[in-house]
Chains A and B, each alone.
Chain A
Amino acid sequence: MKIVAKRTAGLTDARLHYCPGCLHGVAHRIIGEAMEELSIIDRTIGIAPVGCAVFAYNFFSCDMIQVPHGRAPAVATGIRRARPDCVVFTYQGDGDLAAIGTAETVHAANRNENISVFFINNAVYGMTGGQMAPTTLANMKATTAPYGRDVEDTGGPMRVCELLASLEKPYFITRVSLLSPKDILKAKKAVKRALAGNMEKKGFHFVEMISTCPTNWGMEPLKARQWARESMIPVFPLGVFKDREAEEKEAAS
């Protein structure tokens, strides 16, 4: 008998503190496995945000730093410049990245900073208890949108991939989903491609992962996944929004 699937060395032995059925754990696994398979655990530096994933420094087995809310891409830039030989990734939620950290995200992308940004989009602020996020859907309820999000008053759900794809320099921007085994396998490919791209110093790799928040959505894990498929995917279409490698190949051919 040979082991075909086990806990990845890219993660520590710690038990994840995420709620049962929360897909943060899946995102952690595919990043950990990607680091292990690329054998870069020893030279990767991960950046934990403020949000549910603030404890990520306990979960990834590479070097980790916990940084102010929204500032991970700026800290990553500082690390990137100080340690050019390291692989650097940020792990951020939708409040951290698309609200307070919008400027840092846009400018790190614009500089094509050689980092990977893993953006977990579950349409709410999880850690603080389900407040409205920039990605909250129209009419979706949140503790700070008790009557459902009024897009006329608060704006519509923010599509970060499309926003960043309008910039010229970012290298690779994709939106994937963690909502089914098939989607998870594709998500892992994207994660691995991002980290490999950093190893080759190609630049800014952005992987948005559609996830769930069973607790704050008030749904069972399976129902939350179903709801996300039906309600979030149409608003946040999956796909590749920028791929300079493909562009350059096409130009060359």
Chain B
Amino acid sequence: MTEKILMKGNEAVAEAAIRAGCRHYFAYPITPQSELIEYMAKKMPKVGGTFLQAESEVAAINMVLGAAACGVRTMTSSSSPGISLKQEGISYIAASRLPAVIVNVQRGGPGLGNIAPMQCDYFQATRGGGHGDYYTPVLSPSTVQEFADMAPLAFEIAERYRTPVLILADGMLGQMMEPVVFPESYPPQRDPSDWALGCHKDRKENHIINTLFIDPNLLDSKTRILFEVYEEIKKNEVRFETYNLESRPKILVASTGTAARVVKSAIDALKEQGVEMGLFRPITLWPFPYDALHQAAAGVDKVITVELNMGQMEQDVRLALNGLCPTEFVGKAGGLVFTPEELADILRKKAS
């Protein structure tokens, strides 16, 4: 491990991506993600990598499509409206079964919204934001260290399953500074030469990457291959964290990302007042930890979902519980963020 470095989330994930071997980054400026693209602009040339500011997010994701098709580690980043512009490209990357990493540093929405942190792109991220039957793994960090560690993890998942992977952070995590350490070594890239363009193990045939299948039977079978991969991902890649469940709390709070940090502080504050609550924090939003949440909720009176939006993950929470116990939702829109004290008050009232 390197020694600790104080870094912004945006810079930490960029540094980690470079250390993990990403050498091709294409993006477009947008607050609150700009430190990430600026960091890449400074560092990529130093490692002989490609840094290119594209003319739009649409162009950037298509540059990633091209680089990914050549089997190199490639990445882009943006924020909410920019990620909306990338959805068609992501659908193509998913359908073409190409590894790539996309970072969304969420901002206030809808529309231009504002540049405050929010979690209002949950549905877009977890339900396959573009056209067609597809999903992408979605990782949700809640600390700068976790945000950084997700870069190598995202590349690993992307290459193991040949899929684009989305890291869903937010403006607070992107702009916040925390100490970060980086591992000495990273898993090597998987050999892409039996499918990638321009690199061939043996030059018997040309490589073709295509997502057009006029014959419905062919598109059906191609889609089923994607869904076999998704079953594998669901089996192997679910990640979550629980907090304070050992005190057998009667109320379980479900929350992810920045919101989950505030929930932890609220839980600590309530503990001092003799009120016990537990936290279930999904780390992979897709595949969502349905079974784990269902088990964690065994014996609780109610599950409260806390989000920085008007209620999106709470639908997955209800799916996970499947009627096991009542659920409630606590949320803020507009980019407002709960203070721990404010949230502790709200939760305590819900406990009585």
Contacts and interface: CB of A to CB of B under 8 A. Distances in A.
Contacts, number: 120
B89 A71 contact: yes
Q: Tell me if B's interface is mostly helix, strand, loop or mixed.
A: mixed
Contacts of A104: 55, 58-59, 62
B197 A65 contact: yes
A62 interface: yes
B70 A82 contact: yes
B5 to A, nearest CB: 28
A103 interface: yes
A37 interface: no
Nearest to A100: B58
Interface stretch (A72-80, A132-140, A143-151, A239-247): A72-80
Contacts of B125: none
A168 interface: no
B64 A63 contact: no
What range describes how many residues of B lie at the interface? 35 or more
B210 A57 contact: yes
A184 to B, nearest CB: 25
Interface in B45-64: 50, 52, 54-56, 58-60, 62-64
A88 B84 CA distance: 28
A76 B66 CA distance: 6
Interface string A64-91: 1111100100111111111101100000
Given A68-B88, A104-B55, A77 B66 contact: yes
Interface residues of A, number: 33
A126 to B, nearest CB: 16
B24 A81 contact: yes
A104 B96 CA distance: 21
Contacts of A83: 70, 197-199
B59 A42 contact: no
Contacts of B89: 68, 71
A194 B295 CA distance: 63
B198 A86 contact: yes
B92 A63 contact: no
A206 to B, nearest CB: 17
A43 interface: yes
Given A64-B210, A66-B209, A107-B55, A78 B198 contact: no
Given A67-B62, A77-B63, A82 B74 contact: yes
Among B66, B68, B96, max chain A CB count under 10 A is at B66
A54 interface: yes
Given A57-B208, A75-B63, A65 B55 contact: no
A63 B208 contact: yes
A64 B24 contact: no
A85 B198 CA distance: 9
A43 B217 CA distance: 33
Interface string A38-69: 00001101011000001101000111111110
A241 to B, nearest CB: 22
A79 B98 CA distance: 13
A78 B63 contact: yes
11 contacts: A57-B210, A63-B206, A63-B207, A65-B197, A68-B88, A78-B64, A78-B65, A78-B69, A103-B58, A104-B55, A107-B59
Task: State the 9 A-B residue pairs at the shortest beta-carbon distance, nearest first.
Answer: A78-B66, A78-B63, A74-B62, A82-B70, A75-B66, A71-B62, A83-B198, A78-B67, A107-B55
